[in-house]
Structure 1
Amino acid sequence: MELLSASLLLLLCLCCILLGSAWKSRNQPGQLPPGPTPLPLLGNVLQLGRANVIHALEKLREKYGPVFTVHLGSRRVVVLCGYQAVKEALVDQAEEFSGRGEIPAFSKDFNGHGVVFANGERWRQLRRFSLTTLRNFGMGKRSIEERIQEEAQCLVEELWKTQGAPFDPIFNLSQAVSNIICSIVFGNRFDYEDEKFIALNKLIFKRFRFAGLTSAQLYNAFPGILGKIPGPHQTGSKCSQEIISFILERIKLQQATLDLNAPQNFIDCFLVKMEQEKQNPATEFSMENLVMATFNLFFAGTETVSTTLRYGFLILLKYPQVQEKIHQEIDAVIGRDRAPTVEDRGRMPYTDATLHEIQRFSDILPMSLPHTVTRDTRFRGYLIPQGTYVYPLLSTVHFDPDGHKDPEAFAPERFLNENGSFRRQNAFLPFSAGKRVCLGEGLARMELFLFLTSILQRFTLRSPVDPQQLSLAPDVSNFGKVPPRYQLCLRQR
């Protein structure tokens, strides 16, 4: 009995210590932004819920303002809402907010390697190398444009095989976009019927979708516990390991035929750099960084673009009048006899505006990726300690009523001026901003335009159900938004 009483007393004392610690950390002179009181160990997980973390954070914004603090488990996070707060942090204080935080359910697969989840000198060297290499192989130049044009025609031919029957475009779009990355990374594209290629794209889709599920959110809040036990929260990591195995197999093939004096693709260039720095004990050009940098390019370069296109086609099914205006602009500027080019975009303001509005409205990375502050940072009168996680909520930028009139409506006209010319909007950050802005932004913009116009040049999109019945609500919405599955029919123009 005495032992039981002592145990209960010990437990009570422990709870008091944890509560005191949580309260103390919340009220440090420092003056972190305000926020809800965290529970010991759980933090604010119960207040944030599991189904829609974004919605819960937006509700907290109503109470605490555009800058507030929450605790995801034991991790302290400063949340930024609205264009002005996000811009002040990521652009005006770019260096201070340039650190990268972890998303345990995803970043554990990288272990700090590659580009996206790296920090410090490793991040700087690998990002600089990746940007230089992509430019040398034509990112933003005609050679990459030609590859996208060729792939777009392959996609059009594949879509033609549907003969007007209803189909789900999910893997057609994923394979086409993935082939662009393959041509950059491996130096060649894959046939759409290639079994390994099909399996790879299914894994990438599954991995992206998992990142937004409840099990992944719980893993992110309690990685120390859930990382050690089996369950559905480990599904994403299993997908990652299979993707990594595919990449390793390709790297070994290229190592066997590598010509150090004539690198042909991203992997070749990295292998050459590894050879040049093999005597440098501090080099960041290692096999692990090569595998993870390649994984970064595949994942970021495939699923984000294909998901945006998939969301865009669903929106055009819902609003056929928008599609008709794009058709008119394609006919007037490009015609039916030549392939679209990047130069055409500047003469197609309505199409350009529609692509911007698709990216704004689909908002496929609503929480962006977590940042950390690289040193103790003064921000809006608060003091954010070094290492604190920062989530810039891009959804609150894209749906900011101060930046967009009637933000819940899909309206390409918001990106047009009174003369019908394209106009930029400040509250538009689908690629994030500052030092961590997406390194593939130029490539993604090129792909979105050329794939969309190439398909609409040849086809009219039709829904097998009444467009009024189509829902634009995402199927998954946390770390990433995934559009609902749908069917479309293609009618040749």
Structure 2
Amino acid sequence: MMLEPLAMSANYAAGVVGVVAILGVLYTKSSLAGRNNIPLPPGPPARWFWSNALPAVKIAYALTDLVREYGPIVSFRQGSQVIIVIGSIEHRPYQAATDIMEKEGGSLVDRPRSIAAGEMLSRGMRILMARSGDRFRRLRKAMHTHLQPKAVEAYQAMQRENAMSFILNMLDDPKNHQKHAQRYAASVILRVTYGKSAPTANADPEVIRIHKVLDHFQVVMRPGAYLVDRVPLLRYLPGYGKQLDKWHHEELDLYRHQLQRVKNDVDQDKAAPSFTKTLLENTEEHHLSTDEMSYLAGSLFGAGAETTAVGITAAIMAAACYPLAQARVHEELDMVIGSDRAPTFKDSKSLPQLHAFLLEALRWRPIVRIGFPHRATKDIFWQGYCIPEGATVYGCHWAISRDPVAFPDPETFNPQRWLDSEGRLKDNMQFIIYGFGRRVCPGLHLANQSLYMVLALLFWSFRIAQRPDAPIDTYAFSDTVISHAAPFEIDAIPRIEVAKLKELMTDGCMD
């Protein structure tokens, strides 16, 4: 008599397992369809019911491989969350990226909910992570108003002065070229953001503190770094968010201190021109709280200090590894500038080879490899697929920059791909390194000025060479949101007589 209940129990358990399995299959099939039964883009098979999460390591490389396997847009599932990766260009240049990220920019201006980085660390005040809505519009307007092309022209003299200091540092100590790039970037953005001069920016205590909070942000921003983004209830577990809370107060205290310092200078009528000074003088127009202004200025400094230094380092690496491409830039500089004066901003339009070299360096080794996430606020239909409302959408810079249709032989460093038959920069090739649509980096004009000036002076002053005893590993980059090159050695061989070079750079720094 005891066998019957046991048999019934076994049958019941088997039935439950069967129902769960069937429901899982049905959910998987239904989750592969968007609205009106239009399917999601293809993607890797689920590992557990409907889960085929993003790769956890070497994300950019893994996504590029998946794009090659599944096509220009790839879908993933993490529980109920749909993630779409745009990583290729099909048929005509930038079709997927342009059709989705640009033409549908109004539907992708939002960010997905980010509990760890957006809410717990930044409390919704970091413009990079801000959700669409009133606060984001206020932050964006304040940032863009003071970083438009005409506005940033006011910083050109200061950028050139700091670039000349960079050349002197390279002349004295080329081994530490990456530190010199960091110093240059920090000096420029510190002046732009806070009006503060920092001739020894790398050793400036406030710069050290800002780099510390940037390191924290890199950790938190990494996809999948914090389980709370998948299990929101964890944030209410006692002690779970202790570290994030500590990091939040560290960066907020720093940003508040910087804002207060500028405010004190404004009150005493001794503040140097800066982004923060302008913010404080227009508080009624921008309708930002003190903490919102603090975060906005701090975010500008953090982004500018990191990305500009990484871009300079990528160009130095490319020059050392591709001497023939560098030689074309030297030839152009010799023809346009000569050796009696140093390059200026007025020379920019006459140096297409230099600009092509920079564009190719940032394509070859993108600064932000997977891009930042967007959130679809409505269904987006593209070539028979549906990106459903609520999906997280990445434009993967690394994968897009390796599309063989738009960039034949993409692993080869070839600046000429950016030039037409008459040697002019092509106007039909878009540059995606600064992001997409209404989320494009607001500091791009300032960054372009900095990169142009420091590289024009660098290549005018030196020939960058790879050392035979220290070959450069061009794939040795950190697996972080902003990807930093591992240390590498170069030789910086002066192209101008050293005494003359020092004189020109020193006089320029004193102007």
In which range does the TM-score fall when normalised by the shorter chain?
A: 0.7 to 0.9
Tell whether 2:129 aligns with 1:117.
yes
**Structure 1 CA distance for aligned equivalents of residues 192 and 316 of structure 2:** 26
After the TM superposition, which parts of structure 1 deviate over 6 Å for at least 4 consecutive aligned residues? 4-11, 211-214, 225-231, 233-240, 260-263
CA contact (8 A) 1:26 1:37 kept: no
Partner of 2:489: 487
CA contact (8 A) 1:403 1:427 kept: no
Of 242, 256, 264, the residue aligned with 1:256 is: 264
**Aligned residue type for 1:78:** I
Of 109, 112, 127, the residue aligned with 1:98 is: 109
Quote the RMSD (CA, aligned, Å). Answer: 3.8
**Structure 1 CA distance for aligned equivalents of residues 163 and 256 of structure 2:** 28
Bigger radius of gyration, 1 or 2? 2
Aligned-pair distance for 1:307?
0.4
**Aligned residue type for 1:85:** A
Aligned-pair distance for 1:474?
3.8
Tell whether 2:318 aligns with 1:326.
no
Of 143, 151, 172, the residue aligned with 1:138 is: 151
Aligned-pair distance for 1:331?
2.5
Partner of 2:397: 394
**Aligned residue type for 2:171:** W
Of 452, 460, 463, the residue aligned with 1:460 is: 463
- Could you tell which deviates more after superposition, 29-38 or 362-371? 29-38
Of 360, 365, 369, the residue aligned with 2:368 is: 365
Of 259, 272, 275, the residue aligned with 1:266 is: 275
**Structure 2 CA distance for aligned equivalents of residues 43 and 178 of structure 1:** 42
Count of aligned positions: 477
**Structure 1 CA distance for aligned equivalents of residues 180 and 210 of structure 2:** 10
Of 16, 21, 41, the residue aligned with 1:33 is: 41
Aligned residue runs from structure 1 range 288-367, under 5 A: 288-367=291-370
What runs of 5+ residues in structure 2 fail to find an aligned partner?
1-5, 89-93, 496-511
1:183-233 Cα shifts (integer Å, max 9, x gaps): 12111221216441451464266457646878x6465864648868999x9
CA contact (8 A) 1:353 1:412 kept: yes
**Structure 1 CA distance for aligned equivalents of residues 400 and 268 of structure 2:** 46
Three-state SS of the structure 2 residue aligned to 1:462 is strand
Partner of 1:180: 188
Partner of 1:280: none
Tell whether 2:159 aligns with 1:157.
no
Three-state SS of the structure 1 residue aligned to 2:431 is coil
What runs of 5+ residues in structure 1 fail to find an aligned partner?
278-282
Compared with structure 1, are the counterparts of its residues 197 and 130 closer, same or farther at alpha carbon in structure 2 (3 Å cutoff)? Answer: same
Tell whether 2:423 aligns with 1:417.
no
Three-state SS of the structure 1 residue aligned to 2:122 is coil
1:153-196 Cα shifts (integer Å, max 9, x gaps): 2222333332x6xx232222112112222112111221216441
Compared with structure 1, are the counterparts of its residues 361 and 6 closer, same or farther at alpha carbon in structure 2 (3 Å cutoff)? Answer: same
**Structure 2 CA distance for aligned equivalents of residues 352 and 217 of structure 1:** 37
TM-score by length of 1: 0.83
TM-score by length of 2: 0.81
CA contact (8 A) 1:311 1:358 kept: yes
1:237-291 Cα shifts (integer Å, max 9, x gaps): 87675444322211122233334999742222323343x37xxxxx851123212
- Could you tell which deviates more after superposition, 17-26 or 241-250? 17-26
CA contact (8 A) 2:401 2:410 kept: yes
**Structure 2 CA distance for aligned equivalents of residues 89 and 202 of structure 1:** 34
Compared with structure 1, are the counterparts of its residues 337 and 475 closer, same or farther at alpha carbon in structure 2 (3 Å cutoff)? Answer: same
Aligned-pair distance for 1:470?
1.7
Compared with structure 1, are the counterparts of its residues 290 and 438 closer, same or farther at alpha carbon in structure 2 (3 Å cutoff)? Answer: same
Compared with structure 1, are the counterparts of its residues 25 and 403 closer, same or farther at alpha carbon in structure 2 (3 Å cutoff)? Answer: same
